[in-house]
Amino acid sequence: MTPAGTSDTSPGPHDEIRHQRLAVREGIAVGLATAAYGVSFGALSVAAGLDIWQTSFISIVMFSGGSQFALIGVLAAGGVAAGPAAVASAALLGVRNGIYGMRIAPIVGAGLWKRLAAGWITIDESTAVALAQPTPRSRRIGFWVTGLAVFIGWNITTLVGALIGDALGDTRAYGLDAAAAAAFVGLLWPRLKRMQAVAVAVAAAVVAATLTPVLVPGLPVLVAALVAVVVGLFNWLGAPTDAGAGLRS
């Protein structure tokens, strides 16, 4: 299995080829793992009241797990009336992809179409695999292989999940509402490595739950986001060496 990008004749050491192979393997593995939970997005989206076309459209165009789950989560709670809050929740969760784009831009290089394609597949997974590679070339390969593998897998399994959800009917009886909450726990879990993140998570959950009976559906989640802005601005509970960690490249 030789990736297309390694067939040039530059006399790289054996290490470089090994790095590139590892990047390809890691990208495909991450793609397969991510694809597995596209099924849950598809099923939950249909359970939230979207049809199969709408569900697939989101996975193709939006293509960012956290934002997708947020959109259907807010719509499930508040219906079409919660539309603006649903859009805002999805967009706010997408802000981090913009930060990833800043890190990935020097890796993919110049060119309008290349950057458009790269931007589309700039997500948690492709960024993480790219930045974990040791050489510029293996970072570039890691980014593209992971992004494309996740894109293809995620869209196929979204469609499968939507068809399953459609066939199930009464989704509450199958516990799909609990599955949606569990999916958010899974997205949050890897981000709770620091005290600051744990404190923000607890405070945001309390704020959202407290405001639920008071505000229209969707708004409690947006107000809870202010916790992050305030804590982040003043760096409460943050380590002083925290600044810009992992951003140097």
Partner 1 sequence: MTLWQIIIAASIAVLTLKLAGYLVPSALLHKPTPSRIADLLTVALLAALIAVQTLGNGQALTMDARIPAVIVAAGLFAIKTPFIVVVIVAALVAAGLRALT
Contacts of partner 1 in 172-211 (CB under 8 A): 172-189, 191-192, 196-197, 200-209
| Residue list 7-46, contact with partner 1 (CB under 8 A) | 33, 36-37, 39-40
Least Å distance between CB 6 and partner 1?
Answer: 25
Among 17, 22, 28, 62, binds partner 1 (CB under 8 A): 62
Least Å distance between CB 203 and partner 1?
Answer: 8
Least Å distance between CB 132 and partner 1?
Answer: 17
User: What does the alpha-carbon distance between residue 100 and residue 139 come to, in Å, rounded to a whole number?
Assistant: 14
Q: Which is nearer to partner 1, 134 or 186 (CB)?
A: 186
Asked if 145 is part of the footprint of partner 1 (rule: CB under 8 A), the reply reads: no
Least Å distance between CB 144 and partner 1?
Answer: 15
The count of residues in the chain is: 249
Least Å distance between CB 13 and partner 1?
Answer: 29
User: What does the alpha-carbon distance between residue 103 and residue 112 come to, in Å, rounded to a whole number?
Assistant: 17
Name the H helices within the chain: 14-47, 52-57, 65-78, 83-108, 112-120, 124-132, 136-168, 176-188, 195-211, 219-234
Among 24, 71, 129, 149, binds partner 1 (CB under 8 A): 71
At position 44, the amino acid (one-letter code) is L
Asked if 116 is part of the footprint of partner 1 (rule: CB under 8 A), the reply reads: yes
Among 102, 134, 136, 152, binds partner 1 (CB under 8 A): 102
Among 19, 100, 137, 165, binds partner 1 (CB under 8 A): 100
Residue pair 141/35 in contact by the 8 Å Cβ criterion: no
Return the CA Rg of the chain.
20
Residues 6+ apart with CB under 8 A from 172: none
Q: How many residues lie near partner 1 (CB under 8 A)?
A: 107
Of the candidate spans 5-13, 21-29, 129-137, 222-230, the one that interacts with partner 1 by CB under 8 A turns out to be 222-230
Asked if 228 is part of the footprint of partner 1 (rule: CB under 8 A), the reply reads: yes
Q: Which is nearer to partner 1, 20 or 183 (CB)?
A: 183
Torsion 60-61-65-69 (CA) sign:
negative
Among 42, 73, 142, 153, binds partner 1 (CB under 8 A): 73
Of the candidate spans 4-12, 23-31, 148-156, 234-242, the one that interacts with partner 1 by CB under 8 A turns out to be 234-242
Nearest to 237, CA basis, from 201, 187, 185, 212: 201
Residues 6+ apart with CB under 8 A from 153: 31, 32, 34, 35, 38
Placement of tokens 């719509």 in the chain: 75
Asked if 118 is part of the footprint of partner 1 (rule: CB under 8 A), the reply reads: yes
